[in-house]
Structure 1
C-alpha cells in the first residue's frame, strides 16, 4: 500500500516536470512543488507554533527601521510589477476581454513570463509581514485570514506559473493585487515611520474597502468568460479557480468589514491614540478584553499560547 502510494507520488512528480513550461523551467522555485510547499508549511508552523514559543520568554524586538526599509522596498517592487504587467500586455496588446494564453517566445511574451514569476516570488517575500509580527510579539495580528492568505496565494500561483506562465486574461488579478499592495505598503511605511505621520493615516479604514474593490474587479473581469459567445481560453480551469478565488476572498474580507465597521468590534483608534505599527493585510483585531490591536499596536504576551490570532493565557 505504501509502495503504491510512493509510486503514484513519483509518477505525479515526473508528470509535473514534463508539463512544466520550458520557458520558466529554470526560474528559482519552479522545478518542483516540493520546495515551495515545504517553505509554506514551515511558514505556517513558524507563525502559529514555533515563533511564538521561541519569543515567549524574550523581549520583543524593535524593528521600526527594518520595517520602513522593507515596506518602502515592497512599494517599489509592486510598482515595478504593475508597470511590467502593463507593458507586457495589459497596456499594449491585450483587449481586457478574451486574452488567450501566449505560447510564443516573443520578447513581449518573455517579459510577461518574467513578471508573472516575479509576482509569484514576491509572495514569499511578503511572508516577512508575519515574521515581523512574531519577532515583535504581536501574535494578535496573526489571524486565520492573515495566515491563509499569505500561504494560499503563493501555493496556487506556482501551478499557474508552472503550466501557463503567460496566462493572458488569467494574469489580470495579479496586476490588480500588486496595485493594491503599492497602496498598502505605502500606508505601512508611513505607519512605521513614527507618530508624526499619524495625521496622514486617516484613510486606514478604507484599506479594507480597497481590498474588497480588488476582489470585485477581479470577479467582474473573469466573469466575462461566461457571457462571451466564443472564447477559446486554453485552460478554462484557471478561469473557474480565479472566479472562486475572487468570491472566496471577497466573502472573507466582507466578514472582516462587518465585524470591524458595522458591528464595531474592531473600530480604529483615533490618530491621537495611535502608536507606531507594523504591516499586515488585516487592519485590526480584537481580544477578549475589548482592547484593540492596531496593526501591531497592543499588549505583549510572554507566556501565552496562540490559536490563530487569539492568545490564551496559561
Structure 2
C-alpha cells in the first residue's frame, strides 16, 4: 500500500508541480489518460471494430468528403507551419539550443497555443485511417500507419504538458511542412483519374518523411553533447521517436517501392523470355509431328478413304 501511495504522490508531483502551469487547465491537458483512451479507441476501431462493421457492407463513396477533408488538412497544416515560423525558427530561435520560454508574455503564449493546436491536429489525422476502413482499403491500414497515428497524440501531449515551445518545436515545424506536401498530394489524388496520372512522385513523400526523421534525430541528440537549459528526458523522447519512425518508414519504402520494383522487373524479364521460347516450342512441335509420322499418317488415311469411296 505504501508503494502505491508513493507512486500516486509521485504522479501528482510530476503533473502538478513539474509541468507547465500555463497549459495545465487547457482542454485534455490535466491528465494523460483521456488522450491515452482516445488513442486506444482509435486502434481498436480501425483494426477490429471498423473492419467488422464493414465486413458485409459495400465500400462508401467518399470522393467529395476526401476532397474537403484534405483541403482542410492543407490549410490547417499551412497555419501550423506559419505559427512555428512565427515562433522564431529561421529568425530568433537557435538550431543549437533553444530553451522553453515559460513566461506569460504574448509571444511565449502564442507559441504554447500553437503547440496545443498541433496536438489537436494529431486527432484530426485519425480520419486518414477511418476513411480507409470505410472504403474497405484494409491493406492501407498498415502497421506503419496505425503505429504512427496511434502514438502521436500521446507523444505530443507530453510536449504540450511540459515543454510547449523551444527546442522540441523543431519537429513540429518540419512535420507540418511535410504534411502540407502530403495532404496536397492526397487532395490531388482525390480529384480523380484525370489528375492521378500526374502523381508520379508518391514515393518521394516517403523519402521526405525519412529525411525529416533524420534531421529530427540529429537536432535532438546534439543536446547530449552541449550544455542547454532543456530537459534531457525530452531529448531522448524526441530522438527515439525519430529512430522508431525512421525504421518504420524505411521498411515501408523498401517493401512498397524497392522490392516491388524488383518484382516487376523480374516479372517483365520472365514474360520476355517466355515470348522468345514459345514460338520455338511451337516450331519444334510441328517438326516432331512430321518426324514421328503422325502428320504423314493422317495424310495416308485421307487418301485411303478417298480411294475406298470411289
With a CA cutoff of 8 Å and minimum separation of 6, indicate the structure with the bigger relative contact order.
1
Structure with larger Rg = 2
User: Are the structure 2 counterparts of residues 65 and 8 from structure 1 closer, same or farther at C-alpha, using a change threshold of 3 Å?
Assistant: farther
Alpha-carbon displacement from aligned partner over 1:218-276 (angstroms, at most 9, x marks no partner): 12222332343xx22331111122111112211221112222222227989xxxxxxxx
Confirm or deny: 8 A CA contact 2:167 2:230 kept in the other structure.
Answer: no
Mapped partners of 1:78, 1:41: distance in 2? 25
Preserved contact between residue 214 and residue 246 of structure 2 (Cα < 8 Å): yes
- Aligned partner of residue 214 in structure 2, secondary structure: helix
Structure 2 Cα separation of the partners of residues 14 and 95 of structure 1 = 33
- Structure 1 CA distance for aligned equivalents of residues 3 and 244 of structure 2: 35
Question: Post-superposition shift, 1:95?
Answer: 1.7
| 1:242 aligned residue | 238
Aligned to 1:295: none
In the alignment, which residue of structure 1 is the partner of 2:89? 90
Asked if 1 retains the 8 angstrom alpha-carbon contact of 2:203 and 2:253, the reply is no
Partner residue in 2 for 1:255: 251
Structure showing the higher helix proportion among its residues = 2
Inter-partner Cα distance in structure 2 for 1:193 and 1:175:
28
Q: Is residue 30 from structure 1 mapped to residue 29 from structure 2 by the alignment?
A: yes
Q: Map of 1:156-305 to 2, 5 A cutoff?
A: 156-166=155-165, 168-228=166-226, 231-264=227-260
Alpha carbons of 1:144 and 1:248: their partners in 2 closer, same or farther (altered >3 Å)?
Answer: same
Kept after mapping to 2: 8 A contact 1:44/1:151 = yes
Greater displacement, 243-252 / 12-21: 12-21
> What is the rounded CA distance, in whole Å, between the counterparts of 1:245 and 1:25 in structure 2?
24
Determine helix, strand or coil for the equivalent of 2:39: helix
* Shift, 1:18, TM fit: 3.9
Q: Distance in 1 between matches of 2:221 and 2:8?
A: 36
Structure 2 counterparts to residues 122-161 of structure 1, below 5 A: 122-161=121-160
Deviation at 1:66, TM superposition (A): 0.6
User: Structure 1 258/172 Cα, relative in aligned 2: closer, same or farther at 3 Å?
Assistant: same
SS in 2 for 1:58: coil
Shift of 1:26: 2.6
Which whole-Å CA distance do the structure 2 matches of 1:232 and 1:13 have between them?
Answer: 26
Mind listing any 5+ residue stretches in structure 2 that lack a counterpart?
265-310
Give, in whole Å, the separation in 1 of the partners of 2:110 and 2:262.
42
- Seen in structure 2, the aligned counterparts of structure 1 residues 65 and 33 have a Cα distance that, compared at 3 Å, is same
Structure 2 match to 1:14: 12
Aligned equivalents of 1:62, 1:12: Cα separation in 2: 50
Question: Where has structure 1 moved over 6 Å in runs of 4 or more?
Answer: 265-268
Task: Tell me how far apart the structure 1 counterparts of residues 126 and 164 of structure 2 sit (CA, whole Å).
Answer: 22
Secondary structure, counterpart of 1:60 in structure 2: coil
- Secondary structure of the structure 1 residue equivalent to 2:26: coil
Higher strand share: 1
Cα drift, residue 4 of structure 1: 6.5
Residues of 2 paired with 1:261 and 1:139: CA distance? 19
Moved more, 70-79 or 91-100: 91-100
Structure 1's unaligned 5+ residue stretches are 269-314
Is 2:97–2:223's contact at 8 Å kept on the other side of the alignment? yes
Q: CA deviation at 1:12?
A: 4.9
Distance of 2:46 and 2:10 partners within structure 1: 30
Provide the residue aligned with 2:54 in structure 1: 55
CA contact (8 A) 1:260 1:267 kept: no
- Are the structure 2 counterparts of residues 266 and 238 from structure 1 closer, same or farther at C-alpha, using a change threshold of 3 Å? farther
